[in-house]
Amino acid sequence: MNANLYSLFERHFPRGTEQPFLVVPNGPVVHYDELAATSARIAHALVGAGCVPGDRVAAQVDKHWHVLALYLACLRAGLVYLPLNTGYQRAELGYFFGDAQPRVIVCNAEHLGVVAVLERDATVLTLAELMDRARDLPAQFTTVDRTADDLAAILYTSGTTGRSKGAMLTHRNLASNGLALVESWGFTRGDMLLHALPIYHVHGLFVATHCALLSGARMLWLPKFDAAEVISLLPRATVMMGVPTFYTRLLADSSFTADTCQSVRLFVSGSAPLLAETFDAFRARTGQAILERYGMTETGMITSNPLDGARVGGTVGMPLPGVEVRIVDDHGGTCDAGAIGGVQVRGPNVFAGYWRMPEKTREEFAADGWFRTGDIGQWVGEGPAHGYLRLVGRAKDMIISGGLNVYPTEIEELIDAIDGVAESAVIGLPDPDFGEAVAAVIVRKVGHALTERDISTALRGEIAGFKLPKRVFFIEELPRNSMGKLQKSLLRERFGSS
């Protein structure tokens, strides 16, 4: 059987026109048969541009349903899809193009000149130009045979340290993860997924759209998140996926009530940690518990709180079907429940390695084949919640002060609970005596005038002295990337010489 991911999607497509695939508010309604026909035409256009199986196709374009058709066209033609953040500029694009060497690049019109200069060997098109080429081509395309281990996509990591790495994702990786999510989250043809995420990232491109494609469900397609628009559309939805910022913005709007989301059976949060305060406030407002899950570019989704059963705030749940997770100490031994260690994962979802970086790939895998995520965590919980994964932080964010390990999440949770604190980030800064000193960067709630002394007083007696912040900084907003991930490296740069 052809292991091409598109063949798997196609087996789940509803036939005929009775079931839309995608609904754009105040715009078109796209049915599954139109999606299939459009992706076939684009596949013919890509082949006409000289693409052969294994070639890379890069896309740096604004969110449009045609971009999904382009992604599917790449799968159908046996090509490797390379989505790029629309915020990337000349230097970043130059690196990605030089590394991946795409055969075709699809970009926004305003970037056409820059991209054409950066990559002279590729065919460079706007999305409109590509669609013009595809318009009169056949609406059928024979899906290219692929093995499960053939590449389907390359996604570059955010590159917070060193060069960005291209994570090679296979047809098996994406298929296994999508099927596990559909099973775990109970997706059916009756679902309507509210999609307000970008589609150059695992969350919006793979997690969200694959759940719809593998269940024959529908999507409400928004170009970006707007709280007022989302609130107006929630009565039409059954599932919403978002980053924590989405939920804090909904809670900040008084028109967001339990009645607003009465039809929604599931709210999912990911891409960044969900504050316990947000989890509790959302449940108090709506009566629903947000389902938090955990994943990475290299692995897709790894764990999830349960659809049926206790959803535990501050945890990312249990391993998904077919996925194994272990926590190991500094010597590689398996940690007992409650002990903190490195999170490692094994399963068909784990990527094939980093593009053209064999040494880096070897470094990231343990001798017995488990992938080192770089996250630090512990198994927590009692009773029905036993065995839930709690993430303590990133290994690179761990602070070693006076030879003692300090886990930022532990301190951040205590700071966030202080009256007047909106959110916080704990970082390590260079210190001549301790090597690293614990520092807290805090965003105050509106109307509060917290001081460094207030923070120190609240924490003293709650945690050991070596964990107490030696410095406290107050800023208006914590730096985050487009998916809501906190960028502590920027905080370390900003306050490192303070």
Task: Name the percent of the chain lying above pLDDT 70.
Answer: 97
Distance of CA 325 to the CA centre of its chain: 19
- Mean pLDDT score, 21-28: 94
What is the tens place of the pLDDT at every residue in 277-312? 899 999 999 999 999 999 999 999 999 999 999 999
Nearest CA among 163, 159, 135 for reference residue 40: 135
Three-class secondary structure of residue 95 per DSSP: helix
Compute the half-sphere exposure of residue 12: CA atoms within 13 Å on the CB side of its CA: 22
Of 498 and 369, more confident: 369
User: Per-residue confidence at 322, pLDDT binned at 50, 70, 90?
Assistant: very high
Q: Where do we find the tokens 């291209």?
A: 166
CA angle 260, 263, 268 (to 5 degrees): 90
Domains of the chain plus CATH, in order, are: 5-146 (3.40.50.980), 398-495 (3.30.300.30)
Query: pTM higher than 0.85 for the full model?
Result: yes
**What pLDDT does 105 receive?**
97
**What pLDDT does 162 receive?**
56
**What pLDDT does 383 receive?**
61
Task: Name the percent of the chain lying above pLDDT 90.
Answer: 77
Of 448 and 400, more confident: 448
The rounded distance, in Å, linking the Cα atoms of 313 and 318 is 13
343: left (phi over 0), alpha (psi -120 to 50) or beta: beta
- Mean pLDDT score, 231-242: 97
Residues β-bridged to residue 378: 390
**Antiparallel, parallel or unpaired: β 239-242 and 266-269:** parallel
Which helix (H) or strand (E) is 38 found in, with range? helix 32-48
CB 333 within 8 A of CB 285: no
CB 478 within 8 A of CB 446: no
Mean pLDDT of the chain: 93
**What pLDDT does 478 receive?**
94
**What pLDDT does 182 receive?**
98
The rounded distance, in Å, linking the Cα atoms of 456 and 394 is 24
The alpha-helical segments, DSSP class H, found in 50-126 are: 65-76, 90-100, 112-118
For residue 159, is pLDDT > 60? Answer: no
**What pLDDT does 160 receive?**
43
Burial class from Cβ neighbours inside 10 Å (0-12, 13-18, 19+) for residue 463 reads middle
For residue 84, is pLDDT > 50? Answer: yes
User: Per-residue confidence at 157, pLDDT binned at 50, 70, 90?
Assistant: confident
For residue 432, is pLDDT > 80? Answer: no
The rounded distance, in Å, linking the Cα atoms of 474 and 452 is 9
**What pLDDT does 378 receive?**
95
- Mean pLDDT score, 256-280: 93
Q: Buried b / exposed e across 252-282, counting CB within 10 Å, b at 16+?
A: eeeebeeebbeebebbbbbbbbbbebbbeeb
